[in-house]
Amino acid sequence: MAEVTLHEVSKRYGATVALDRVSLTIADGAFVVLLGPTGAGKTTTLRLISGLEAPDGGDILIGGRSVLRDTPAQRDVAMVFQQYSLYPHMSVRDNLAFPLRSPVLRTPEDEIARKVREVAEVLRIEGKLDNKATALSGGEMQRVSIGRALVRDPQLFLMDEPLSSLDAKLRADLRVELKRIHATLGATLLYVTHDQIEAMTMATEIGVLDQGRLVQFGTPREVYESPVSLYVAARLGLPRINTLPAGLFAGAPAGAKTIGLRPEHIRQGEGRPAQVLRIEPLGDQTRLHLRLDGHDIVTLTDVHTDLEPGDSIAIEPRNALYFDATGARIV
Amino acid sequence: MSGASVTGPSRRLKWAAGILVVGYALITLMPLLWIMATGFKTSPDSIAYPPKVIFAPSLEGYVNLFTTQTRQTADYLAANPPQTWYEKIVHDRGMVITGTSRFGERFMNSVIIGFGSTFLSVVLGTLAAYAFSRYRIPLKDDLMFFILSTRMMPPVAVAIPIFLMFRNLGLSDTHAGMILLYTAVNLSLAVWLLKGFIDEIPREYEEAALIDGYTRFQAFTKVVLPQAATGIASTAIFCLIFAWNEYAFAVLLTSGTAQTAPPFIPTIIGVGGRDWPAVAAGATIFLVPVVVFTVLLRKHLLRGITFGAVRK
Ligand SMILES: Nc1ncnc2c1ncn2[C@@H]1O[C@H](COP(=O)(O)OP(=O)(O)O)[C@@H](O)[C@H]1O
Ligand SMILES: [Mg+2]
């Protein structure tokens, strides 16, 4: 495992700027999650680090050494692809053994057997080892493709939305599993996703990508509590942050255009009266949809609330976030 | 799949479709079956009118196909009784065997030239198709069109230049010459077909192999080739069928050493009267390799249907 550094890395595809001077350090043993919507440049970042693409500018260092001249094989990274994860013409066992049989590793067969068994156990696919890769469910396929990365002991694991195609239950299970693997192996991971829950639950650091630019990098807590922009603030938090005109409540700082109110930033019982539109009980929480001066606001309330649609409730901001006209945060 | 589903075809429909397919197959196979049957008839039976559907089978045609014979006097025949079953067949017609015919040789020429050019076409075609599919090549589309354009003219249109070229290069009536020629003709088809198949294989597979520590060539052999098996098998069958059946160039460019079976078989007709059973026997044997080859590869052809462990 090693520290990985991106220095001012840029990549263009024709007229599209996929990555724009991204600098980033993934500490040894870190679990970094890059978060961004489709087209933000997440896959491109992984392809540049793995050596499948060459950057137009900047440098990539693994363990303090520039790897730009190295082939993918020489970089010693493992990657889980977003799609097309398994070789359809091989059994699950051969898929898992494939990296170990490479000319770079040349693992003896008895050790291959041991490692494959180990990984299969961790991912709970022992019973499927002799299946053809095509005879698996989506969840099993994805576990095998994660397994194919885990059998190796690379400098860095790269994972491209590995859970995005799975159902919610499996996704939750594998999140826990990945976190556990990270802790036990002490592995360095760069994981990209558009799913904020994955980012919040697994990351030691989150990097937020916006159209090829890394707009913020920090611990999940830092990024959640002190987003640098409205864009970042909107990426994390469920229900989403409410964005309202700054003038809706008193106390906005000079230059503020927008006030960002997370559900927990809304104190109930005082302030301006808002109308209850809908109550959404979700079991563990209850969402409250309000309307104030023509603006929709979502907040949380008591699970067993007595409120009903049409009721009026006073609300006021608490520790609100303010943003200027460009969307940048005002502190 | 088992049982009839609500949306699937009903049992009766399946039966009707089955009967239709079998009936159509019988009609189209009729001439073929007739030729095969003729190969086992005697000469008189083969031209009997009305045609004989039921007949006493004979190997006369096959014996005639593989041997050369000459007519002998009754005295000679009486003095030299036949030693083997095939000598007896000939003997009974007042003939004796004087040697083996050229058919065996010509058939081997067909095998060498047909399979040789198929092998070359598929190997070169796969490499070229891979390059066209994966690499940035200047003027790629124009090159692909150029490759296809070599197939646009009928063979006769290029026959004379090729004839002259072969004569000057000493390739006339050689195995190497015919293999090269059929490879050149088949290559355009092979490149186009295989490029289509390779385009369908996601690059991610090779990329995963590259990251897993393999070289590009190893990724090609271990990941791309197995997945292109379907395409390679069908391409090989197409190439073999063309090279196997090719007649025009074979007539023009071969006469002896490298003559293939197609121009040879008609010459049987001229030897010692209309020997239809021998011609039919030759045609039957001629069919065998292509049928066997196709049957051997059919597993790969069918595999195309269950292609890909794709997560979507
Ligand atoms: N091979 C390519 N050719 C052209 N444009 C590409 C290519 N790969 C990515 N892009 C473009 O680069 C941008 C970033 O893509 P990508 O890194 O795949 O985003 P993400 O993985 O975050 O969805 C997108 O606008 C995408 O259209
Ligand atoms: Mg992507």
Nearest to A10 by CA among A47, A44, A55: A55
Number of alpha carbons in the 13 Å side-chain half-sphere of residue B161:
5
Q: What does pLDDT average to over chain B? A: 88
- A212 alpha carbon – ligand 2 mean position (Å): 12
Instruction: Identify the burial level of B217 via C-beta atoms within 10 angstroms of its C-beta, where 0-12 means exposed, 13-18 middle and 19 or more buried.
Output: exposed
d(CA B119, CA B108): 16
- Asked whether A261 and A296 are in contact (CB, 8 A), the reply is no
A42 CA to middle of ligand 1, Å?
8
Of A79, A87, A134, the CB nearest to B223: A87
> A39-53, A55-69, B11-25, B286-300 — which is least confidently predicted?
B286-300
Report yes or no: B136 at the A interface, CB cutoff 8 Å.
no
> What pLDDT is recorded for position B303?
56
- Looking at residue B308, its pLDDT comes to 41
Residue A53 CB less than 6 A away from ligand 1: no
pLDDT of residue A228: 96
**Minimal CA–CA distance to A295: which of A331, A329, A257, A248?**
A248
Pick the closest to residue B244 from B121, B84, B83, B161 (CA basis): B121
Which pLDDT value is given to residue B271? 56
Chain B contact present for A70, CB below 8 A: no
Looking at residue B305, its pLDDT comes to: 42
How far apart, in whole angstroms, are the C-alpha atoms of residue A164 and residue A171?
8
Local structure of A65: helix, strand or coil: strand
CATH H-level superfamily of A4-228:
P-loop containing nucleotide triphosphate hydrolases (3.40.50.300)
Q: Is the Cβ–Cβ distance between A248 and A254 less than 8 Å?
A: no
Among chain B residues, the shortest Cα distance to A98 is held by B212
Whether A78 sits inside 8 A of B212 (CB atoms) is yes
Contact between B109 and B260 under an 8 Å Cβ cutoff? The reply is yes
**What is the sign, positive or negative, of the torsion defined by CA atoms of A244, A245, A249, A254?**
positive
Gap between the Cα atoms of A312 and B4, Å rounded: 60
Query: Who's near B269: CB < 8 A, 6+ residues apart?
Result: B275, B279
**CATH dotted code for A239-330:** 2.40.50.140
Question: With b meaning 16 or more CB within 10 Å and e meaning fewer, what string describes A283-320?
Answer: eeebbbbbebeeeebbbbbeeeeebeeeeebebbbeeb
Q: Provide the β-strand partners of residue A250.
A: none
Query: Is A193 near ligand 1, meaning CB less than 6 Å away?
Result: no
> Does the distance separating the beta carbons of B223 and A73 come in below 8 Å?
no
Four-point Cα dihedral A324, A325, A326, A329, nearest 10: 10
ipTM for the assembly: 0.86
What is the number of other CB atoms lying within 10 angstroms of the CB of residue A17?
A: 17
Q: Write the residue with the smallest CA distance to atom 17 of ligand 1.
A: A41
Place of tokens 């599919």: B133
Euclidean distance between CA atoms B97 and A292, whole angstroms: 111
Beta bridge partners of A13: A16
A212 CA closest ligand 1 atom index: 14
Spatial CA neighbour of B188 closest among B141, B231, B239: B239
Chain B residues whose CB is inside 8 A of the A50 CB are: 211
- Distance between Cα A18 and ligand 1 center (Å): 6
Q: What's the CA-to-centroid distance between A129 and ligand 2, angstroms?
A: 29
What are the DSSP E strand ranges found in chain B?
A: 67-71, 95-100
Classify the C-alpha dihedral B218-B223-B229-B235 as positive or negative: negative
Residue B310 pLDDT greater than 50, yes or no: no
Burial class (CB in 10 A: 0-12, 13-18, 19+), B46: buried
pLDDT value at residue B2: 45
Q: Amino acid identity of A244?
A: L
Nearest-CA distance from B2 to chain A in Å?
Answer: 18
Q: Where are the domains of chain A?
A: 4-228, 239-330
Residues of chain A where predicted confidence (pLDDT) is lower than 50? none
- The domain ranges of chain B are 59-101, 104-303
Question: Is A50's Cβ below 8 Å from some Cβ in B?
Answer: yes
User: What is the per-residue pLDDT across A257-279, written as a single tens digit (0 to 9) for each?
Assistant: 999 999 999 999 888 999 999 99
Q: Which residue, by CA, sits nearest to atom 27 of ligand 1?
A: A39
Residue A108: is it exposed, middle or buried by C-beta count within 10 angstroms (0-12/13-18/19+)?
A: exposed
Local confidence band at B270 (pLDDT 50, 70, 90 cut-offs):
low
What is the residue whose two structure tokens read 């460019």? B253
CB atoms < 10 A from the CB of A97, how many? 21
Q: For residue range B171-214, list pLDDT tens digits in order.
A: 999 999 999 999 999 999 999 999 999 999 999 999 999 999 99
Q: Give the CA count within 13 Å in the CB-facing half-sphere of B58.
A: 23
The 3-state DSSP class for residue A272 equals: strand
In the numeric block, which tokens belong to residue A328?
């940048």
Q: Is A152 on the interface with B (CB under 8 A)?
A: yes
Digit-coded pLDDT (tens) for B62-119:
998 999 888 888 899 888 888 999 999 888 888 888 999 999 999 999 999 999 999 9
* pLDDT at position B4: 47
CATH number among 3.50.30.50, 3.40.50.1100, 3.40.50.970, 1.10.3720.10, domain B104-303: 1.10.3720.10
B116-172 pLDDT, tens per residue?
999 999 999 999 999 999 999 999 999 999 988 888 888 778 888 999 999 999 999
Q: Which two tokens stand for residue A247?
A: 């003038």
pTM for the model = 0.82
pLDDT average, residue stretch B4-10: 65
Residue B300 has pLDDT above 80, yes or no: no
* Residue A129 vs residues A289, B183, B269: alpha-carbon distances, Å: 49, 43, 62
Residue B209 forms contact with A (CB below 8 Å): yes
Q: Name the residue at shortest CA distance from atom 14 of ligand 1.
A: A41
The bound ligand whose nearest atom lies closest to the alpha carbon of A46 is 1
Give whichever of A218-227, B47-56, B274-283 has the largest mean pLDDT: A218-227
Is B217's pLDDT higher than 70? yes
**Which of A50, A86, A141 is opposite residue B211, by nearest beta carbon?**
A50
Structure confidence at residue A177 (pLDDT): 86
What tokens were used for B100?
A: 């083996």
Structure tokens at A142: 């994805």
Contact, B300 vs B122, CB < 8 A? no
Contact pairs from chain A to chain B, CB under 8 Å: 84
The whole-angstrom distance between A46's CA and the closest CA on chain B is 11
Instruction: Yes or no: say if A60 and A6 are a contact pair by the CB < 8 Å rule.
Output: yes
